[in-house]
Amino acid sequence: MIEHVTTKRGQLRIYLGAAPGVGKTYAMLGEAHRRLERGTDVVAAVVETHGRNKTAKLLEGIEMIPPRYVEYRGARFPELDVEAVLRRHPQVVLVDELAHTNTPGSKNPKRWQDVQEILDAGITVISTVNIQHLEGLNDVVEQITGIEQKEKIPDEIVRAADQVELVDITPEALRRRLAHGNVYAAERVDAALSNYFRTGNLTALREIALLWLADQVDAALEKYRADKKITATWEARERVVVAVTGGPESETLVRRASRIASKSSAELMVVHVIRGDGLAGVSAPQLGRPRLDKPRCDQPALVLRRHAAGLRPRDERHAARRRHIAAIAMGTPV
């Protein structure tokens, strides 16, 4: 008789940040120590301290799996040693910087692919990622910062994580941390403060991270309601909805809806109706980022796309119930 043993897949836990230096690696190491205190077998396979003394100090007491070195163009580069992790087979492994691109010649092009192998072996992985590395937000971040992100990770990999925790810090606090030399070396501080780490950039990136995470919470709530067959509307937070086509009047309508939402601390939702003759004027990404281009609008917005062809009121009522909307404001006939 042959017994087939099914290995339970490991869990993926991600610390998400809006920018470098918010404390993702520090939070990951803090969790590792808490798990060790509870008797969990935890090891570290990749931890990038970036020369930060407080972060490096947290490595004390955590078993390290040495990296595997890959030779490329006459140099040797350290990479995650997946085989060593599988041989050691801890309960939990720390793998920093999930969006990292592996050195050419590695088994997998991307670190997140290495992590999938570890998860398949039944090992839980704790990792980190910045919001600007998500493929779906890459172009938005580039517009804000003027910097193209080379390292990207598919959104669905992060969405599929068992837990995603935002490591949040105000732009002012992050800039202070940077100025004190706790993020980059002293010679890089001035350039960083006047470029990527400008207050406006950090505010926008933080908002994008918060909105992205809120959308994941909504998705989790919808799944829970579907699993439990709950159909009643939950008015946990009021939502104001405005329908626009992307024409010249759209920005004005979004601003008006934003003011209405602000008065009641409601969430603003833009239903972007796509006409059969194509769109002109405001694009869906622009409508979804009203706070990033003041004074257009004071409220962040969730954008839904609908095609005008075949659009029926009954369908929209169903969508409203599914998203727990208590009130709908149609800005213009569609």
Question: Residue ranges of the domains in the chain?
Answer: 12-219, 239-322
- Checking if the pLDDT of 275 tops 60, the result is no
Q: Tell me: the pLDDT tens digits for 74-126?
A: 999 999 999 999 999 999 999 999 999 999 999 999 999 999 999 999 999 99
**What is the pLDDT averaged over residues 127-133?**
96
The pLDDT of residue 245 = 65
Q: Look-up: residue for tokens 């969006």?
A: 99
14 contacts 133 by C-beta, under 8 angstroms: no
Q: Look-up: residue for tokens 């994008």?
A: 208
- For residue 334, what are its two tokens? 């569609």
The pLDDT of residue 89 = 98
Q: Tell me: the pLDDT tens digits for 189-216?
A: 988 888 999 999 999 999 889 888 888 8
Cα–Cα distance between 253 and 244 in angstroms, integer? 8
Give the rounded percent of residues in the chain with a pLDDT score beyond 90: 49
For 30-39, the CB contacts below 8 A with 24+ separation are 30/58, 31/126, 32/58, 32/62, 32/92, 32/94, 32/126, 33/58, 33/61, 33/62, 35/92, 36/61, 36/62
Q: Tell me: the pLDDT tens digits for 292-301?
A: 333 344 445 5
Quick one: pLDDT band at residue 332, thresholds 50, 70, 90?
A: very low
pTM over 0.75: no
Q: The CATH number of 12-219 is which of 3.40.50.720, 3.40.50.11400, 3.40.50.1000, 3.40.50.300?
A: 3.40.50.300
Q: Tell me: the pLDDT tens digits for 48-70?
A: 998 888 899 999 999 999 999 99
Least reliable range by pLDDT among 126-130, 184-188, 196-200: 184-188
Whether the ω angle into residue 295 lies within 30 degrees of 0, i.e. cis, is: yes
Mean pLDDT, the chain, integer: 81
